Chain A
Amino acid sequence: MYTIQCDVAVVGAGPAGLAAAVAAKENGAARVLVIERDNAPGGILQQCIHPGFGLTRFNEELTGPEYYSRFTEKAEALGVEYLLDSMVLDVDADGGKVTCVNGKYGVTNVEAGSVVLAMGCRERTRESIVIPGSRPAGLYTAGSAQRLINRQNIMVGKKVVILGSGDIGMIMARRMTLEGAEVVMVVELMDYLAGLTRNRVQCLDDFGIPLRLGHTITRIEGEKRVTGVYVAPVDETKKPIAEKAEFVPCDTVLFSVGLIPENELTRKASIAIDGKTNGPAVNQYMQTTKPAVFACGNVVHVNDLVDNVSAESEQAGKYAARYAAGKFPAAKGEAVCKPGANVRYICPQKIVLSDEAEKVNLYFRVLSPARDVTLRVRCGDTILAQKKEFRVNPGEMNSIAVNTADVADGEIVVEVM
């Protein structure tokens, strides 16, 4: 069996893995190896040909390929190495060993000083949300359809209903329309938009595509290829009102009904998972409960902006490099980040206190939409940080920075009032 040694091994060459690898190099790791199952770096951004990336980070509007190429160029200049066409099967969290398979080298063991998990996420399916009906052809997750259309040159259908108003769903509504398909409607269970407002404007409103908030698909029809779906409004408990169901003919249904951090490897490596994010619990260094293993990007929690992914991944890469070099900050204590009023989760879940004070971004999502609110971080009665926000929405991640020098042992609370 083939063995490779490196300082930092990164699992996944999507935006998270690339940013982590670049940061690891910049922070002194001599050998950084990115292991990627695809035949090229870029991850899901390879199929995200639409614009909207980089607005906060680069202050310009980039397409997915342009966004990741900023990182691959840097990675190349810094000498980041790739192991492409390689699927990781196992992570030995204590030994810092990553086992992967590759057609050229066979079973390959990567021995690293530290490991960064950046596997991203996968899409929830029609099956996982239990929509009754038949099981015909023509049902796709929005991301699969996106891959087929944008990367494989394959069109999936002509008359489309999309379930879920997440960003991928809306972007696919525009994409399919521009490619000549008829998007009959976008159906959303919640009574608010799941994705970004700008996507509603540019992807749905521009093309007159109806958005049915507070509705869901109750049944799928068609024995061979889908022939239509029943769409019904839901009551306050999100239960469909069956008698109000309407039949909507279509030959394709796209599901954009949520993303799940892909943590099969993480679980296998006995790393603790946060039940709310479905990702590994991390501290501000993006370090998991196994000290040599770091994690970043959508594998930790599902982000809506890649710009945020890059930022937190750089943190992971930086500290993974320091860990591998034996220059990790010594812990003096820790504070748990506790969700307060209208906060669903916080990432990182924990702040480690050390002699190195730094500004840490706490990323979080609210439970329900609100306007003119104050975001606040407090430690007991002491307010560590606060800021006003014109609007908060579960579909859009918020963040607030705290200085770790202000944090005391125990817990800090993030709340939205």
Chain B
Amino acid sequence: MRKTDVVVIGAGAVGCAVARELTKYKVGVIVIDKNEDVGGDASKSNSAIIHTGYDAAPETLESQLVVAANPMYDALTRDLDVPFKRVGAILPAITDEQFAQLPAIKEKAFRNRVYDVEYLSGEQLLEMEPNLNPAVKGGLYIPRESIIDPFIYVQALAENAVANGAEFMLGTKVIGITAENGKIRSVQTTDGDVETKYVVNCAGLYCDEIADMVGKAEYEVVARKGQFYILDKNTSCQVNHIVLPIPTKITKGKLMCPTIHGNMLVGPTAEDQPSKTDKSTSAEGLESIARDVRNLVPNVNLRETITQYSGLRPNRKPEGLHFDMWDDLEGYVNLSGVRSTGLTLSVSMGKYVVQQMLYHGAEFELKSDFIQKRKGIVKFCEQTPEKQDELIREDPRYGNIVCRCETVTEAEIVQAIHRPLGARSVDAVKRRVGAGMGRCHGGFCGPKVIEILARELGCPAEAICKNDPGSEMVTGKNRS
């Protein structure tokens, strides 16, 4: 039987941040995830915003962690080589009724200790965002709201955790947790049992099912679907900031913002649904995005879209972010209610979890040789011609551009496959290097990516999946 100190269930942003934090100590860490790739569910399909916490419910764990997390991202993304940009958010008031709400929003920000929120006039807002609804009466500016590459972020946390000794069991499902005499003993998985002293439940959407295995499901999790549009980089109507709607009692509304790669992101919807796997988009959902966002940015051109997708965020019932440990179940840590702010608070949550474990008697000894930094794959398209020339000389595969839309080279794809926790599927390649993320959406590079994956992994093309098993891209040789 495999043996470790801590099992982290879930390789999303929170799970990977917890794992990375744990590797600062001399403890064995195994992260288990049912998916074939790190990145979780909610962590990879969200609005990719690093929040300030200005609108969180004051004096909650969620507000505490989000507000604490935001300033950490400058250093963290530098250390881990993660694309991150402090673009800032604006909250325009279009109607008088919305304008009247601004002081309350600012006051809430103040109570959350987000002191840098400013009032701006309609004129100032239009100067910042010429495509804004010209009826704008004024609004708030939240300068530290930021955008990140959520895929690279989670990969970076995971890769860095691996560099510091953590192990990952991907494509592995947890099927049971055993306790003995009120103490965690082992975790049963589809790939054998793991003996462990601690279990940290970071299973997001499935955290209720994991908690149920130890009889601690005091809540349930319902999937809340958010549908999004991604627009072409060349779309005629763009914004430079995160343009947020003023929430109503019924809905938080739809936002529009640039992505870290220069596309426009528009959405999301918020629809509770019984299925935890149905990530389909719907005509009604997409229409509601169009209708709502036009209040903020009237000329947004949703026909210049390169994709639409849905994410499922865990909606805890009853609501709220919860951190729980129990006296009668030593070694078990339960996180629940990690929702849309989860990406932001992952980093502070990692620290919080470990600190709480220490408070509760964990004897983790600090390491002196923790590797702080991680280097990403060198992106050919971001280099100067001189540097590009040098890269090709070092590795001629940098001279083979596989994805024409995003200018991704064969060398980058091969590196994505052979890194620790490397890409095994077409989607995993896409999330690491961006091949297939552009306007032709894999029409040109898709067949080549399948070929490269098959070659590098030494398997037939029909074994290559879009993501998890069952999503095989092709059926086999045409002439065998």
Contacts and interface: CB of A to CB of B under 8 A. Distances in A.
Q: Do chains A and B touch in the complex (CB under 8 A)?
A: yes
A225 B470 contact: yes
Given A101-B399, A144-B446, A225-B470, A155 B475 contact: yes
B247 interface: no
Interface in B265-298: 277-283, 285-286
A225 B478 CA distance: 19
B472 A137 contact: yes
B401 A130 contact: no
B404 A37 contact: yes
Contacts of B358: none
A274 to B, nearest CB: 16
B397 A153 contact: no
A205 B388 CA distance: 52
Residue of B280, B396, B451, B476 most packed against chain A (CB within 10 A): B280
B279 A107 contact: no
A133 B281 contact: yes
A136 B465 CA distance: 10
Contacts of B471: 136-137, 224-225
Contact of A127 (B388, B399, B441, B461): B441
Contacts of A37: 401, 404
Contacts of A127: 305-308, 441
A133 B280 contact: yes
Contacts of A383: none
Interface string B389-412: 100110011111100110100000
B154 to A, nearest CB: 19
Contacts of B478: 149, 153-155, 179
A132 B283 contact: yes
B439 A106 contact: no
Nearest to A146: B447
Contacts of A326: none
B170 interface: no
A224 B465 CA distance: 9
Interface string A110-151: 000000000000110111101011111110110110011100
A27 B286 CA distance: 54
A398 to B, nearest CB: 28
Interface residues of B, number: 59
A347 B372 CA distance: 59
Contact of B475 (A134, A158, A220): A158
A330 interface: no
B443 A143 contact: yes
Nearest to B385: A107
Contacts of A138: 473
B404 A104 contact: no
A122 B447 contact: no
B476 A155 contact: yes
A144 B401 contact: no
A89 B392 CA distance: 14
Given A101-B399, A132-B283, A153-B478, A147 B389 contact: no
Contacts of B307: 127
Contacts of B125: none
Interface in A259-282: 264, 267
B450 interface: yes
Interface string B432-456: 0000000111111011001100000
Contacts of A264: 405
Residue of A122, A132, A267 most packed against chain B (CB within 10 A): A132
A201 to B, nearest CB: 25
Interface in A178-194: 179
B474 A123 contact: no
B474 A130 contact: no
B477 interface: yes
A218 B287 CA distance: 14
Contacts of A220: 280
B386 interface: yes
Contacts of A153: 477-479
A157 interface: yes
B468 interface: yes
Given A1-B389, A134-B280, A136-B471, A102 B399 contact: yes
B309 interface: yes
Contacts of A103: 392, 396-400
Contacts of A135: 279-280, 309
Contacts of A144: 442-444, 446-447
Contacts of B302: 130
B451 A106 contact: no
A149 B479 CA distance: 9
Contacts of B461: 152, 154
B470 A130 contact: no
A225 B446 CA distance: 16
B380 to A, nearest CB: 8
Residue of A1, A106, A134 most packed against chain B (CB within 10 A): A106
Interface in B359-384: none
Nearest to B390: A106
Residue of A1, A101, A149, A264 most packed against chain B (CB within 10 A): A101
Nearest to B279: A134
Nearest to A181: B475
Contact of A141 (B443, B468, B470): B443
B385 A148 contact: no
Nearest to A101: B399
B351 interface: no
B163 to A, nearest CB: 30
A309 B450 CA distance: 31
B393 A106 contact: yes
Given A1-B389, A137-B471, A128 B306 contact: yes
A144 B388 CA distance: 29
A60 interface: no
Contacts of B388: 101, 106-107
Contacts of A105: 399
Contacts of B355: none
A147 B305 contact: no
A149 B447 CA distance: 10
A130 B308 contact: yes
Interface string B308-343: 110000000000000000000000000000000000
B443 A123 contact: yes
B466 interface: yes
B286 A130 contact: yes
Given A103-B396, A125-B440, A136 B466 contact: yes
In the complex, the 10 A-B pairs of residues with the closest C-beta atoms, listed nearest first? A103-B399, A103-B396, A224-B470, A137-B466, A224-B471, A87-B401, A127-B307, A137-B471, A106-B389, A134-B280
Given A107-B389, A219-B280, 16 more contacts: A101-B399, A103-B399, A106-B389, A107-B392, A122-B439, A127-B441, A128-B439, A130-B302, A134-B278, A143-B443, A144-B443, A147-B447, A152-B461, A154-B462, A154-B476, A219-B283
Interface of B: 234, 277-283, 285-286, 302-303, 305-309, 385-386, 388-389, 392-393, 396-401, 404-405, 407, 439-444, 446-447, 450-451, 461-462, 465-479
17 contacts: A101-B398, A103-B399, A106-B388, A107-B388, A127-B306, A128-B306, A130-B286, A130-B303, A130-B308, A137-B471, A155-B478, A156-B475, A157-B474, A219-B280, A220-B280, A224-B469, A264-B405
